[in-house]
């Protein structure tokens, strides 16, 4: 989206034109599109508000044929939705222009519109949008750590990702999230969902086990919310075709759904597409908005903030702290399992700790001996972590006498997350309580 000031400075802004029929909006539309500015149109205030929730709007232009009361309603609604969005009123008298200013408009234009002066307004809106985005990044860097949903970070790369995700959440394009296991792909997807579609359901599809029928049912269940496709590269070809149909506006049975699709993958989807193991039409539909979550070993500055967040979420009595040398040991570790491995390690260490502080002796031997994780085999490490997690789940269920709600609170998990972990480890209440 580009404004075209005379100095050639390119800025991304989005403009929404509200009111009138297509012919009345045509001069404004031609002016904006001629400057390569992303432009949307709405014939009514209600339609305009609906578009604002789905599109990254920076400027609203209220047409001259909008009634005075409705004009004030539009201006007030825009200011209530986001007071950073500017409103311009096109009016047929200075009196109505002053009324628009009193209602909260940034400026007004008399008919016929002076488009040269409008270029000045566009520069202001573009500069303001760019400044807000830069200020947001700087503020997050100063007020460390930055947060997005359940994610926490003080890494510049992740902070920039948070900013992009917040902006993307305002509209409905499909999203592709790439990253190693345990980096927080689902947490990022949930954050985008909560920013844009919190009132709707968040439905998870495990691609490896999905059929066309189960996928279509999940899409229908996710109507009005988000359909999260985990490990999208594992979809069977016929299920990939179902997803393509969904992204094109229908389902396996031609049934429309309003679900937004967020897909996740652990590998480079572009490379898989070039190798012919991922359908090109699916990749093209998903890759227009793509995020890559870096592994934890590439952002060591995030280890301690995430560790603090995990310990806080575990709800330890009087809080749990990290003893002498523990923080340094955690920061040096190679975290092949990323945040999931860090969580499991801290859960086990807290259970082993004799006091409020986790000491080096409470950590696995690799930490105590200063051995980086790269010296362990991947398969052995994975089995070790899986065993620790399973033991921790059984312990929590035993302590709560099988009460899953209490066990989830004890572990700092949602009931849904606890149930998934129990299924993953094939743990039943009968087994734990027998």
Q: Within a domain: residue 207?
A: yes
Tell whether 320 and 348 lie within a shared domain.
yes
Judgement on whether residues 352 and 364 belong to the same structural domain of the protein: yes
pLDDT at 4: 40
**Scanning the structure block, which residue is given the tokens 């309003």?**
258
In a domain, 4, yes or no: no
Determine what percent of the chain is predicted with pLDDT higher than 90: 16
Last residue of a domain, one of 234, 261, 294: 294
Q: Is the pLDDT reported for residue 185 higher than 90?
A: yes
pLDDT surpasses 50 at 184: yes
Do 244 and 356 fall into the same domain? no
Alpha-carbon torsion angle 238, 239, 245, 250, nearest 10: 120
Report the CATH number that the domain containing residue 174 is assigned in CATH. Answer: 3.40.50.300
What per-residue confidence (pLDDT) applies to 137? 55
**Do 126 and 238 belong together in one domain?**
no
pLDDT above 60 (res 330): yes
Number of helices followed by number of strands (H, E) in the chain: 19, 14
pLDDT for 374:
40
Contact 359, 330 (CB under 8 A): no
Q: Both 28 and 124 in a single domain?
A: yes
- Establish if 141 belongs to a structural domain: no
At 348-375, the pLDDT tens digits run 888 888 888 888 888 888 886 654 444 3
Amino acid 132: pLDDT: 65
CATH number at residue 105: 3.40.50.2300
User: Considering only 12-26, 292-306, 339-353, which range has the smallest mean pLDDT?
Assistant: 12-26
The answer to whether 363 touches 349, Cβ cutoff 8 Å, is yes
Query: Among residues 231, 263, 294, which one ends one of the domains?
Result: 294
- Residue 139 inside a domain? The answer is no
- Is 2 part of any domain? no
On whether both 230 and 325 belong to a single domain, the answer is: no
What's the rounded Cα separation, in Å, for the pair 366 and 407? 29
Same domain, 367 and 390: yes
User: Residue 38 pLDDT more than 60?
Assistant: yes
Write out the residue range of the structural domain in which residue 279 sits: 146-294
Question: Residue 123: pLDDT above 80?
Answer: yes
pLDDT over 90 at 303, yes or no: yes
Stretch 374-390: mean pLDDT: 53
CB 197 within 8 A of CB 173: no
- Beta-carbon neighbour count of residue 225 at 10 Å? 19
123 and 161 inside one domain: no
Residues 416 and 370 in one domain: yes
Task: Using the predicted structure, report yes or no on whether residue 12 has a pLDDT greater than 70.
Answer: no
Tell me if residue 270 falls in helix, strand or coil: helix
Question: Residue 2 pLDDT > 50, yes or no?
Answer: no
Which pLDDT value is given to residue 7? 40
Residue 186: the pLDDT is 94
Residue 165 within any structural domain of the chain: yes
Q: pLDDT value at position 262? A: 94
% of the chain surpassing 70 pLDDT: 81
* Cα–Cα distance for residue pair 177/11, rounded to 1 Å: 26
- With respect to residue 7, please indicate whether it lies within any of the assigned structural domains: no
Mean pLDDT score of the chain: 80
**Co-location of 353 and 429 in the same domain:** yes
Q: 184 and 221 share a domain?
A: yes
Under 8 Å between Cβ of 293 and 266 = no
pLDDT at 197: 81
Number of domains in the chain: 3
**pLDDT computed for residue 144 by the predictor:** 58
Greatest mean pLDDT range, 173-187, 270-284, 307-321: 173-187
Position 8 pLDDT exceeds 60:
no
> Residue 2 phi/psi, 5° resolution?
-135, 125
pLDDT at 162 over 50: yes
Q: Are residues 158 and 267 located together in one domain of the fold?
A: yes
- Domain boundary pick from 263, 294, 325: 294
Model pLDDT for residues 239-292, shown as the tens digit of each residue: 888 888 888 875 545 455 678 999 998 877 666 665 655 667 787 788 778 889
Look up the pTM and report it: 0.56
* pLDDT attached to residue 409: 66
> Is 57 a domain residue?
yes
């Amino acid at each position: 989206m580009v404004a075209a000031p005379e100095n050639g400075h390119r800025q991304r802004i989005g403009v929404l034109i509200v009111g009138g029929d297509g012919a009345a909006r045509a001069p404004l539309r031609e002016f904006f599109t001629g400057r390569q500015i992303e432009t949307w149109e709405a014939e009514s205030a209600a339609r305009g508000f609906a578009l604002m929730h789905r599109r990254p709007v920076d400027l609203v232009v209220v047409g001259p044929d909008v009634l005075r009361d409705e004009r004030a309603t539009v201006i007030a609604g825009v200011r209530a939705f986001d007071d950073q969005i500017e409103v311009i009123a096109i009016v047929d008298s200075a009196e109505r222009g002053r009324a628009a200013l009193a209602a909260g408009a940034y400026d007004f234009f008399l008919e016929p519109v002076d488009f040269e002066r409008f270029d000045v307004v566009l520069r202001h809106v573009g500069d303001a949008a760019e400044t807000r985005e830069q200020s947001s990044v700087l503020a997050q860097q100063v007020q460390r750590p930055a947060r997005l949903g359940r994610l926490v970070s003080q890494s510049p790369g992740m902070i920039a990702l948070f900013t992009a995700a917040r902006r993307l959440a305002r509209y409905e394009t499909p999203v592709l999230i790439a990253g190693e296991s345990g980096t927080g792909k689902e947490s990022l997807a949930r954050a985008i969902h909560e920013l844009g579609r919190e009132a709707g359901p968040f439905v998870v599809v495990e691609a490896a086990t999905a059929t066309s029928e189960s996928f279509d049912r999940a899409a229908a269940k996710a109507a009005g919310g988000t359909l999260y496709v985990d490990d999208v590269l594992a979809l069977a070809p016929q299920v990939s075709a179902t997803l393509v149909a969904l992204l094109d506006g229908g389902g396996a049975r031609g049934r429309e759904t309003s679900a937004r699709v967020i897909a996740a993958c652990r590998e480079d989807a572009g490379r898989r597409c070039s190798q012919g193991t991922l359908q090109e039409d699916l990749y093209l539909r998903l890759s227009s908005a793509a995020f890559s979550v870096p592994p934890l070993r590439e952002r060591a500055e995030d280890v301690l903030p995430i560790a603090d967040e995990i310990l806080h979420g575990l709800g330890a009595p009087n809080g749990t702290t990290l003893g002498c040398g523990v923080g340094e040991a955690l920061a040096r570790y190679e975290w092949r399992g990323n945040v999931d491995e860090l969580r499991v390690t801290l859960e086990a260490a807290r259970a082993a700790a004799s006091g409020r502080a986790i000491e080096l002796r409470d950590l696995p031997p690799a930490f105590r001996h200063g051995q980086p994780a790269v010296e362990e085999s991947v398969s052995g490490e994975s089995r070790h972590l899986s065993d620790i997690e399973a033991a921790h789940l059984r312990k929590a269920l035993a302590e709560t006498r099988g009460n899953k709600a209490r066990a989830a609170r004890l572990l700092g998990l949602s009931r849904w997350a606890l149930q998934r972990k129990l299924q993953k480890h094939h743990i039943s209440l009968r087994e734990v309580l027998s």
